[in-house]
Structure 1
Amino acid sequence: MKKVILHKGKDKSAWQLHPWVFSGAIKHKDDGLLSGDLIEVYNVDQEFIAFGAYNPHSRVAVRLLEWHPDRRPDEQWWRNRVRKAVEARRHLIHESNTTCRLIFAEADFVPGLIADLYGDFISIQVHAAIVDRVKDVLVDELVQLLKPKGVYERSDLKSREYEQLPDDNGLRYGETPPEYVEVVENGIRYHINIVEGQKSGFYCDQRDNRRLVAAYVKGKNVLDCFCYSGGFTLNAFQTDAAHVTSVDSSALAISTLQQNITLNQFDSSRHTAVQSDVNKYLRQLGEEGKQFDLIILDPPKYAPSRSSLEKASRAYKDLNRRGLLLLASGGLLATFSCSGAMDIDTFKQVIAWAALDAGKEIQFIHQFHQPEDHPVRASFSEGEYLKGVLVRVL
């Protein structure tokens, strides 16, 4: 097996089990290394640190896999990783919840792989060259463990460009998912589109937060922004919201949401669906003097990297300022960020600035997190990306 040697002083995070080695940390690498090659990583004193996977095209030049020198990552090693991840989530899969994240990349020691269960189907995304090489093994193990009708890949990701991997979408096992796959989350039925929907098809990372927010909506007038296929909207109907307005820029999202309302036999007369840019619509509502009892802001990732954090902070502040202007005293704002580069303290500070600009005094009354099927590995804090707060206007 070929070797990579790290610079003195640049090996600290590798010893501390962080799974990424950046190109600048490499002192020496053997000739002939190809993208996705399995390697041994050493320090300058020739002490073994870990097994890893090399990629000359990526800023993350080595993805560390295994720190025990006697556990070389072979086919059985990969199968064991998949099995451990799936078995840790078995208790989440039952009659009232048929969707969850099965594998969460680095958090489950399978860097570069996302696998989500959607009823009888599994959707996967591959971010890394090493996983691209062993994809067939990983899919086979998932099939043996869960017996799905089909496994579909949605690897059309910006991150693949950094690994110099082309887009790769298509069926990997069994049947192609139908246009709409039915799943159940929190006892609510959803039709989701795995083949053409956003990301892998559905955002199951908000499962717990949808239920928590819904506890506050009974009898209230709710505005759900960036609603996608209706997670927060449908949970609000389940707990007797008086009226819900759902906003998304995607026609497919709005169409899917309306189907989901019908699927669950909720009263559509208490619902307004709006296809619009959210910021533009919030501005319009403000000009019209509209008010809501509870507003949900669940925008896409504004800060894909730390270099974009300042610009993202301004966008988050403006969005939340517009939301707060639509809330009277006692109104509630459930606001989220899925940007890993923004930590919870920075996010709360941004919300405080938004409140100041809106002329509102606020309290933080609850903090939201990603659920247990999106665990955060102790040595990889970058895996903690979803955060949110519930704000009360005084």
Structure 2
Amino acid sequence: MIDVILKKGKEKAAMLHHPWIFSGAIDKIKGKPLNGEIVKVCAANAEFLAYGYYNDQSRVALRLMEWEESTTIDKQWYQEKLRSAIASRKHLLNEDTNTCRLVFSEADFLPGLIVDQYADFLSLQILSAGIENVKEEIIALLKEELNPRGIFDKSDAGARKHENLEATQGLLWGETPPEFIEVRENGIAYHINIADGQKSGFYCDQRDNREILAAYSKDKNVLDCFCYSGGFSLNSLKHGATHVTSVDSSALAIETLAHNLELNGFDATRQQSIQSDVNKQLRTFKEEGKKFDIVVLDPPKYAPSRSALDRAARAYKDLNRLGMLLLEKGGILATYSCSGAVDMETFKQIIAWAALDAGKEVQIIKQFHQPEDHPVRLSFPEGEYLKGLLLRVL
């Protein structure tokens, strides 16, 4: 195994079990490892630190995965990691919920691997060269452990570019998923489209937050922005919302939401779908003098990296300012950020600026986080990407 030696003083993160080492921390390499190859990472004094995937095409040159020197990373090692990840989510799957994230990359010691279960199908995202090299082993192990009807590749994320990998999508094994797979979450049925849907097919990371917000929805007029397949809309209707307005720029999202409304038998007169740019539509509502009891803002990732943070902060501030202006006095704003570069304290500060610009006093009622099938290792706080606030706007 090839040794990668770190510069003096650059070993602390690895010793604390942080899984990322940037290229600038490397002093020398004894050999010429291939991208995605497992290497032995050592401190400047040659002390063993960890094993990890190497990639000279990425700023994150080393993705650490094992800190016990005597351990061999082989098929059994991958099997144990997959079994452990799957077992830790087993209690989440029941009659009311048959979809969740089974493997969450670094959080489960498998950097670059994401596996989502949608009823009898699995959706796979491979975002590192190391996992790409063992793709066939991973597929074989998932077949053995879960016996799905089909495994579909959704490795079309931009993150693959950083590993010098091409985007891929298509059937990996078994049956081709139908155009719409029916899944259940919190007792609500969804038709989801793996092949053409966003991310891996469905945003199961908002499962808990949808249910929390729905408890406030009875007899309320709700605006669900960036609604996608209707998670917040459907939960609000189930819990007695008087009316829900759902807005998304995607025609597929609006079409999927229509399927989901029919699938659950909700009264069509209690819901309106609008295909439009959300910021433009919010301004239109303001001009029309419309008001809502609850506004949900769940935008896409505005800050893919720290370099985009200033621009993202302005976008979040303006979006939330508009949302606050559309609320009845004492109304509820549920606002989220899925940008890992925006931590909770920064997000709170952005919302405070939005409140100041809107001329509103705001109370924090609850803080939202990602659910337990998206765990965060204490040694890898970057894994905590989803955060949100439930606010009362006075």
Both structures adopt the same fold (TM-score exceeding 0.5): yes
Match of 1:163 in 2: 163
- Report the equivalent of 1:217: 217
Q: Which residue of 2 aligns with 1:348?
A: 348
Q: TM-score, normalised by structure 1?
A: 0.99
The percentage of counterpart residues that share the same residue type is 60
Match of 2:113 in 1: 113
Partner of 1:137: 137
Cα displacement string for residues 57-93 of structure 1 (whole angstroms, at most 9, x for unaligned residues): 0001011110001112111111111110000000011
Pairwise CA distance, 1:198: 0.4
Q: Which moved more, 1:381-390 or 1:139-148?
A: 139-148
Deviations 1:277-318, CA, capped at 9 Å, x for gaps: 000000000011100000000000001111111110110000
User: Structure 1: how far apart are the matches of 2:328 and 2:183?
Assistant: 36
For 1:285 and 1:352, the matched residues in 2 are separated by: 23
**What is the alpha-carbon distance in structure 1 between the residues aligned to residue 297 and residue 329 of structure 2?**
18
For 2:139 and 2:268, locate their aligned partners in 1 and report how far apart those are by CA, in whole Å.
40
Match of 1:87 in 2: 87
Instruction: Give distance in 1, aligned partners of 2:24 and 2:316.
Output: 33
Aligned counterparts, 1:329-368, within 5 A: 329-368=329-368
Secondary structure of the corresponding residue to residue 106 of structure 1: helix
**Aligned AA (1:63):** R
CA distance, structure 1, for counterparts of residue 143 and residue 206 of structure 2: 26
Amino acid in the other structure paired with 2:346: T
Which whole-Å CA distance do the structure 2 matches of 1:308 and 1:264 have between them? 40
The CA deviation string for residues 159-193 of structure 1, in whole angstroms up to 9 with x for no partner, is 11111111111111110100000000000000000
Q: Does 1:128 align with 2:108?
A: no
Gaps of at least 5 residues in structure 1 are: none
User: Is structure 2 residue 230 aligned with structure 1 residue 230?
Assistant: yes
Cα distance in 1 for partners of 2:140, 2:82 equals 10
In 1, are the aligned partners of 2:3 and 2:31 still within 8 Å (CA)? no
Q: How many Å separate the matches in 1 of 2:149 and 2:59?
A: 37
Cα offset, 1:32, TM superposition: 2.1
**Deviation at residue 156 of structure 1 after TM alignment:** 0.8
Query: Matches of residues 68-107 of structure 1 in structure 2 within 5 Å?
Result: 68-107=68-107
CA distance in 2, matches of 1:97, 1:89: 12
Matches within 5 A, 1:4-83: 4-83=4-83
Give the conservation status (yes or no) of the 8 Å contact 2:224–2:246.
yes
Q: 1:277 corresponds to which residue?
A: 277
Contact 1:83 1:141 in 2 (8 A): no
Report what 1:255 is aligned to.
255
Residue in 2 that maps onto 1:264: 264
Corresponding residue pairs, total: 394
Distance 1:213 1:142 in 2: 34
Equivalent residue number for residue 301 of structure 2: 301
Deviation of 1:44 after TM superposition, in Å, equals: 1.2
3-state SS of 2:385 partner: coil
| CA RMSD across the alignment | 0.7
Q: Match of 2:51, as an amino acid?
A: F
Larger deviation, residues 159-168 vs 101-110: 159-168
Local SS of the residue matching 1:196: coil
Identify which range, 124-133 or 69-78, moves more after superposition: 69-78
Q: Is the 8 A contact 1:79 1:137 kept in 2?
A: no
Deviation above 3 Å: which 4+ runs of structure 1?
none
Cα displacement (A) at 1:379: 0.5
Aligned equivalents of 1:256, 1:287: Cα separation in 2 = 29
The secondary structure found in structure 1 opposite 2:319 is helix
Do 2:340 and 2:385's aligned partners in 1 also have CA atoms closer than 8 Å? yes
Give, in whole Å, the separation in 1 of the partners of 2:330 and 2:57.
Answer: 52
Q: Which amino acid in structure 1 is aligned with residue 203 of structure 2?
A: Y
- Letter aligned with residue 215 of structure 2: A
CA distance in structure 2 between the partners assigned to 1:368 and 1:209 by the alignment? 7
1:371 corresponds to 2:333: no
Q: What letter matches 2:270 in structure 1?
A: R
C-alpha contact (below 8 Å) 1:65/1:73 kept by paired residues: no
Q: Give 1:211's aligned amino acid.
A: E
SS for the counterpart of 1:9 is coil
Quick one: distance in 2 between partners of 1:321 and 1:72?
Answer: 53
The alpha carbon displacement at 1:31 in A equals 2.7
Distance 1:60 1:37 in 2: 14
**Paired residue secondary structure (1:86):** helix
Q: Deviation at 1:349? A: 1.1
Q: SS of the residue aligned with 1:103?
A: strand
Q: CA deviation at 1:328?
A: 2.1
Partner of 2:387: 387
Q: Which residue of the partner structure matches residue 179 of structure 2? A: 179
SS at match of 2:195: coil
- CA shift, 1:53, in A, is 1.0
